[in-house]
Amino acid sequence: MEVRVRPWVQDDISKIVHYWMTISDADAERMGCDLSRFPSTEEYTRILTEQRQAPPETAVAFYSMWVVNGETIGFASLKNIEYGIRGEMHLHIWDAKERGRGIGGRLFCLSAIDFFERFKVREIVCEPGASNRYPNRMLQKAGFSLAGSRVGRSSELSKELLLNTYAITRQVALNHLNRGVQERRRPAGSLDSDSGQKTSQRDDS
């Protein structure tokens, strides 16, 4: 399986807008979206186009597209960027069949490392809704620390709700990617030296 991330291009904007404009009520509720806060298709396209054209030093948002076997399945975004200081990370898999397959953690970590390098930030946080099990499970499995919880909005498009705040660090992202490489190299049926359990070829990174 080929898994990689890439910077967004102009053609991605229509897909990002379409994802939000056609989101189901169930998915909006799960993620804590406030649909009344969404701009029109035209306005959202204009906003994203302006954001994409900004240089790293003045950018306020940036999207890292997630690609699996040549198909773009979603993205991570860095918002409220303060160059050289901090940013806030979000993640979305718009292809429902790719959710829960164990690939989100690897894609998230690849995007996080790119954000650290591209914007020279020292701090990244990710704040999924506390009741949204998919991102919480992925972040915990990858090894990111839960720094606390708060009531608030995770973005300009969100409702006010209980959020879990995770500290995203470059080292934890690298560690998770390195573990995934080691697991994929281990022969199927071999014994794990720590647990004594047999391994399989399933990719859970």
Residue 185 has pLDDT above 70, yes or no: no
**Who has greater pLDDT, 74 or 193?**
74
What count of residues does the chain have? 205
pLDDT tens track for 46-96: 999 999 999 999 999 999 999 999 999 999 999 999 999 999 999 999 887
- Nearest CA-CA partner of 87 in 65, 117, 47, 130: 117
pLDDT tens track for 96-151: 777 777 889 999 999 999 999 999 999 999 999 999 998 999 999 999 999 999 99
d(CA 40, CA 160): 21
Strands 86-93, 71-82: pairing is antiparallel
3-185 CATH pick, 3.40.630.30, 3.30.360.10, 3.90.600.10, 3.30.465.10: 3.40.630.30
**Whether 99 contacts 132, CB under 8 Å:** no
| The predicted structure's pLDDT at residue 202 | 33
- Alpha-carbon torsion 72, 78, 80, 81, what sign? negative
